[in-house]
Amino acid sequence: MYPEDRVLVTVINRRRDFVAARDEHWYRIPQVRMPGGVHVDYLGFFLSGTGKRAGGVYWYAEQRGLELAYRRDLLPDEADHPRAGEIYYRVALGELVEKSPPILNPTRRAISFIYTTWDRFINARTVSDLYSRSDYFVDRVFYALRDSSRASQP
């Protein structure tokens, strides 16, 4: 894992989607939501709804592959769903890893998809930490160049 690895924080709001991620090692994303593709190294999973782990990112997984499929093929039990004919990314996942400590959402900010970097993701304690724009994580190239130039000076 590298600091600049790309992480997509996604939402799981149905138990069947969590079971698919955990047991079958895949997650679905509507292509219409990501028309440019899914270019990430890891996915973090924000669990919404109710339950003792609702309202936070408690799990993540490495992205292992990507393919396109119709929703009806991914969820054959829902073949008559209004979006059954829509195309989805089927993201193949590695094993789910517990995020400790989890990333919580104390302000109850609405979540759909959040792009971030590995260093920001692994150090985040709240969802707001994933959005910071003016700190070391965003400007790490500047700091790396500055530090390397200092190290090379006599």
Domain presence at residue 106 = yes
pLDDT digits (tens, 9 = 90+) for 69-85: 999 999 999 999 999 99
In a domain, 141, yes or no: yes
Q: How sure is the predictor about 133, in pLDDT bands with cuts at 50, 70 and 90?
A: low
* Domains: count for the chain: 1
pLDDT score recorded for residue 140: 56
* pLDDT tops 70 at residue 53: yes
Q: How confident is the model at residue 50 (pLDDT cuts 50, 70, 90)?
A: low
Residue 43 lies in a domain: yes
pLDDT band at 68 (very low <50, low <70, confident <90, very high): very high
Residue 101 is assigned to a structural domain of this protein: yes
Residue 32 within a domain:
yes
Query: Beta-carbon neighbour count of residue 135 at 10 Å?
Result: 10
The pLDDT of residue 131 is 80
Q: Domain residues for 102?
A: 6-152
The model carries a pTM of 0.82
Q: Is 1 inside any structural domain?
A: no
Query: What's the confidence (pLDDT) of residue 141?
Result: 56
89 within a domain of the structure (yes/no):
yes
- Looking at residue 48, which CATH number applies to its domain? 2.30.130.30
Please say if the pLDDT value at position 118 is more than 70: yes
Mean pLDDT of 9-22: 94
Is 23 contained in some domain?
yes
